Amino acid sequence: MKILFLDQSGQPGGAELCLIDIAKPYQQTCLVGLFADGSFRTLLEENHIPVRVFTTQPISVHKESSLVQGLASIQQLVPLIAKVTRTASKYDLIYANTQKALIVGAVASFLSRRPLVYHLHDILSPEHFSHINRRIAVTAANRFASLVIANSQASKVAFVQAGGRADITKVVYNGFHPAKYQTEESVVTEIREQLGMNGKFIVGHFSRLAPWKGQHVLIEAIAQCPPQVTGILVGDALFGEQEYVQKLHQLVTALHLENRVKFLGFRADIPQLMAACDLIAHTSTSPEPFGRVIVEAMLCGKPVVAASSGGVVELVEHGINGFLVTPGQPQQLAQLIATCLQDSDATTKIGDRARITASQRFDIANINQQIAQLLQAVVHSTAR
């Protein structure tokens, strides 16, 4: 099967990391087309996945864009659509991995007469998308997509509530390579020494720095915890959110946490850093479509405390393989952290249980098999 994958981003986020795993089995016959250049292209090349950057001109439409802004981008999209359409004619299937890719892919699908699959990595809600963007995404998917793959039940429900077709929507969770998340104890010891946190209870937060990701909630919680509780924030601003980063630093200073909270920026050694933590915190204040970081922490055998909304509740069973707290409540989070600190044996058992369940539920081989069967059905049905 020859697949043309489309993605709007030049930088690797959760959707892009998921795409790498999906594209790998087709690396001899597929192509990943990007609408921006950047480190994601490099990552694809390192994984021996063919990639082409169709345009380096930023598409001036964002999640919160209005109708006027959307219409203004049409002239910009015409040459991009033409390139994608010509390329799509050489492939069996167009696989749109992001919302802008869906729009371009929908038109290219119509013009090239190739079936379209849309991988939905978002919760189409007012918190994240303007009304016109939700309307455009749903209309394009309903009219042109043969299949919508939602990354969680929460994503599917939001899509259907926004008017999306339930009959073409299937839920397939993200897949992972469990072996990647095994770390030697000597490496853990070395990282804790490098961080200067030996003897500390380390709470890790792994996400881009953005208001809705809620790093401020964790910082406020740490201020209410015993002094041996420390935090590491792994990630940085991606989409013009530097003002929020400044506010986080100001909050750390105001709460006198300079020696207890470290900003590590973007890091490539995520599994190793997670293994060095005692607890992983997920603090999103808006519903999370899936929660990739949560599964990664589980595969590292680490207990997770997560904000109870969106796709997160499909991953975490409170007190069984992790903990759930109310989003945006630092006091509740602080109490949970203190409980984990005091009852380390029970917390360790939950981390061990999380590793087992995550390895079974999210193994990449099983996930890719599910996706392959769905894609084959689409190609066969359109070939008749």
Instruction: State whether 353 and 240 are in the same domain.
Output: yes
Task: Work out the average pLDDT over 207-223.
Answer: 96
Number of domains the chain is built from:
2
Instruction: Note whether 197 and 294 are same-domain residues.
Output: yes
Residue 63 has pLDDT above 70, yes or no: no
Whether residues 147 and 191 share a domain: the answer is no
Same domain for 235 and 336, yes or no, is yes
Q: Is the dihedral of CA 311, 16, 55, 115 positive or negative?
A: negative
Q: Say what the alpha-carbon torsion angle 272, 277, 281, 282 is, to the nearest 10 degrees.
A: 0
3-class DSSP state of 55: coil
Same domain, 332 and 378: no
Same domain, 138 and 260: no
- Residue 213 lies in domain: 178-361
> What is residue 9's three-state secondary structure?
coil
pTM of the predicted structure, to 2 decimals: 0.90
Q: How, if at all, do strands 229-234 and 261-265 pair? A: parallel
CB burial of residue 18 (10 Å; 0-12, 13-18, 19+): buried
Contact 140, 106 (CB under 8 A): yes
Give the containing element (helix H, strand E) for 147: strand 145-150
Q: What is the pLDDT of residue 65?
A: 45
Q: Burial, 243: exposed, middle or buried (Cβ in 10 Å; 0-12, 13-18, 19+)?
A: exposed
Does 272 share its domain with 194? Answer: yes
For position 240, what pLDDT does the model report? 75
Residue 161 sits in the same domain as residue 82: yes
What is the DSSP secondary structure assignment for residue 163, as one 8-state letter? Answer: T
Residue 332 has what pLDDT?
97
Same domain, 351 and 368: no
222/204 Cα distance (integer angstroms):
11
CATH code for position 59: 3.40.50.2000
**b/e for 223-240, b at 16 or more Cβ within 10 A?**
bebeeebbbbbbbbbeee
Beta bridge partners of 7: 34
pLDDT band at 67; cut points 50, 70, 90: very low
Tokens describing residue 337: 């952290």
For residue 57, what pLDDT is reported? 75
Return the pLDDT at 71: 45
State how far the Cα of 248 lies from the Cα of 189, in Å rounded to an integer.
28
Are 193 and 282 members of one domain?
A: yes
Judge if 22 and 70 occupy the same domain: yes
Span 253-303, pLDDT tens digits: 999 999 999 999 999 899 999 999 999 999 999 999 999 999 999 999 999
The SS3 of residue 375 is helix
At 60, the pLDDT band (50, 70, 90 cuts) reads low
Average pLDDT over residues 329-353: 96
Pair 321, 202 in one domain: yes
